[in-house]
Amino acid sequence: MKQNKFLSMLFILTLLFVGCEEQEDLNITDVSHRVIVTSEMNFENKVIVGGDIDFGDISRGVESRTWTLPANGNIVDGGSGQTSSENVIKAKFNKAGVYDVVLNQKFKGNVFRNEDSSEPSDTRELDTTIVVTVLDSISSVLKAHRVNPDGSTGTELNLADNAEHELEASNFIRLSYTAIGEPQNINWSSDGGKPNKISHELTDDFVDMKFSKLGSWDLQYIADRFRPTDADTLFFEKLIKVIPSTAPVTLDRVAEREDLITLEFSREIDAATVNANDFAVRIENNTDEMNPIVLTPTVASVSVDKDEATIVILELDGTQLYNDDQVYVSYTPGALRTTDEVASEGFTDVLLTDFDPLINIYPNTAYDHSFESTDVSNYPYQNWGAPWDGFDISMDLETPRTGEKSLKVNLRPNGGMIVRPESGGNPITFPIETGKRYEFGYWIYIESDLTALPTGSESADIQLYAHDWSGPNLVPTTFTSDMPTGEWFYQSQIFDAGAGRDITWLIRGFNEFHDNALVFYLDDFFLAEVPVRP
């Protein structure tokens, strides 16, 4: 919201400056120069039906002008109807659609058409068309269906308050929508759902929400967009009633949580039935193949998560987990039962698959890992010669993964790239510590077609080198034809630091044996210590 206010003030101050300049009647040679702005020019000139949009002619040397709006637009300030000769007008549109607003200008002399024009044109009259997109308010139609055991779509549910459609625990409801008004975000939420909030990707036809908690549950849907700001919220009270199930309870996931082990079951577990003696944990670590480690820590206590009763928490006897461990959990059938009175079957050596999320160290360094405070000058070419000079980079505002910017890279046909982050000619560094293991990664969005890529030693890739050439040398990305395009995905590599020191990356792109350009975006660089068993 602060940014919007800033842009609006900038627009107003620009107009005031030009207005004052016109009134001053300064004795300078007046150069005819076309400059046209709108209050929504940073937002693709999108407005909502009935919303305001301002148009400003701040050109120099204008003798006369005429704004012309289409039939569904009206000037509400700076004139009326569909035409005006004022330098600033405010308009409204009464119907959704894409419209052309035309400005005809007559100048005192030949006019510079654009801000980067080096010479004036050979005309004193210009027509400019501004395309305005007018959006409806967001309005949605929702559907909910049962999901059949084979995963197919089942019967449709009536969406109404207090419907209390009965659903056996651990089953799914399939949710879908249609909407007008171009929503940018779709979210479904229910306190009975698992997870209790689901973001619906705009390209997905539906999402499935699992219900495991017994009871009656509400469902909420929110569709919104940032600009022009709007939202559609639909709420259904007590839509789903989860009832006991006779189906077997399953163990869906084993994960770490702050050195505790969590067991995620398909249904809620009765806290009165958990017993530490029924569980066993084995830890193996084969990092040192000559001296493998096997530990069998005692399970000191077992509890059910107070906020999510499908999760059972195992606390060990002080034994710490490390990311290079293989952790196995077993359960000998005992008293463990679900809240709907179904006993859990035993299981043996189920592998822990998810350790605690690693913590990115970049935000606490001078390294701009998300490119928000970076410009191209911070990534200078390192003068390696051909083919490493065959690239273009820019700060991209259209395709960031997070924030407002990403780094756009164009590896030219048979080209390459070598850059490093710098400030004032000095490398922007970050620390790595002796003997530590790290995960390095970034998010990449590939725009180019990946067919006909070279392979083997001629493969196109992205490599990184420590700028002091003392290691590590990383190859997070080798471009292959089966990579996703048109979406963000994560690439990473684990490395051992060796000597502790401050380093930065030389970022090398390689496309020498590919006859087509490779265009991609980088964002959200990641560096985290990976805990390993000493």
Task: Tell whether the model's pLDDT for residue 40 goes beyond 60.
Answer: yes
Rounded Cα gap, residues 352 and 263, in angstroms? 9
The pLDDT-based confidence of 263 (bands split at 50, 70, 90) is: very high
Same domain for 86 and 173, yes or no, is no
Torsion of CA 432, 435, 436, 442, to 10 degrees: 60
Same domain for 404 and 326, yes or no, is no
Asked if residue 534 belongs to a domain, the reply is no
Say which amino acid occupies 139. S
Same domain for 435 and 370, yes or no, is yes
Task: Tell whether the model's pLDDT for residue 5 goes beyond 80.
Answer: no
Q: Which of 243, 262, 277 is the last residue of a domain?
A: 243
Question: In 3D, which of 254, 281, 276, 260 has the Cα closest to residue 336?
Answer: 276
Q: Residue 340 belongs to a domain with what CATH number?
A: 2.60.40.2180
Percent of the chain with pLDDT over 90: 84
Same domain for 379 and 510, yes or no, is yes
Q: At 274, list the tokens.
A: 């958990």
Asked if residue 104 belongs to a domain, the reply is yes
Q: Which of 108, 135, 162 is the last residue of a domain?
A: 135
Helix (H, G, I), strand (E, B) or coil at 159: coil
Same domain for 412 and 470, yes or no, is yes
Same domain for 8 and 69, yes or no, is yes
pLDDT in tens, 399-445: 999 999 999 999 999 999 999 999 999 999 999 999 999 999 999 99
Same domain for 296 and 329, yes or no, is yes
Task: Tell whether the model's pLDDT for residue 121 goes beyond 90.
Answer: no
Same domain for 232 and 275, yes or no, is no
Asked if residue 248 belongs to a domain, the reply is no
Average pLDDT over residues 361-372: 95
Q: Which residues contact 332 (CB under 8 A, 6 or more apart)?
A: 278, 279, 280, 346
Q: Which domain holds residue 398?
A: 362-529
Rounded Cα gap, residues 23 and 105, in angstroms? 20
Percent of the chain with pLDDT over 70: 94
Q: Is the CB of residue 292 less than 8 Å from the CB of residue 285?
A: yes
Task: Tell whether the model's pLDDT for residue 8 goes beyond 70.
Answer: no
Rounded Cα gap, residues 460 and 480, in angstroms? 8
Q: Which of 302, 323, 351 is the last residue of a domain?
A: 351
Q: Residue 225 belongs to a domain with what CATH number?
A: 2.60.40.10
Same domain for 131 and 143, yes or no, is no
Q: At 191, list the tokens.
A: 């306190």
The pLDDT-based confidence of 30 (bands split at 50, 70, 90) is: low
Same domain for 199 and 239, yes or no, is yes
Q: Residue 407 belongs to a domain with what CATH number?
A: 2.60.120.260
The pLDDT-based confidence of 367 (bands split at 50, 70, 90) is: very high
Average pLDDT over residues 368-385: 95
Q: Is the CB of residue 288 less than 8 Å from the CB of residue 268?
A: no
Asked if residue 356 belongs to a domain, the reply is no
Same domain for 469 and 376, yes or no, is yes
DSSP letter assigned to residue 33: B
**pTM score of the predicted model:** 0.64
Q: Report the chain's mean pLDDT, rounded to a whole number.
A: 92
Average pLDDT over residues 32-53: 95
Q: How many CB atoms lie within 10 A of CB 263?
A: 27
- Give how many domains the chain has, as a whole number: 4
Task: Tell whether the model's pLDDT for residue 328 goes beyond 80.
Answer: yes
pLDDT in tens, 175-233: 999 999 999 999 999 999 988 999 999 989 999 999 988 999 999 999 999 999 999 99
Q: Which residues contact 506 (CB under 8 A, 6 or more apart)?
A: 382, 418, 419, 420, 464, 465, 466, 467
Asked if residue 168 belongs to a domain, the reply is yes
Same domain for 131 and 148, yes or no, is no
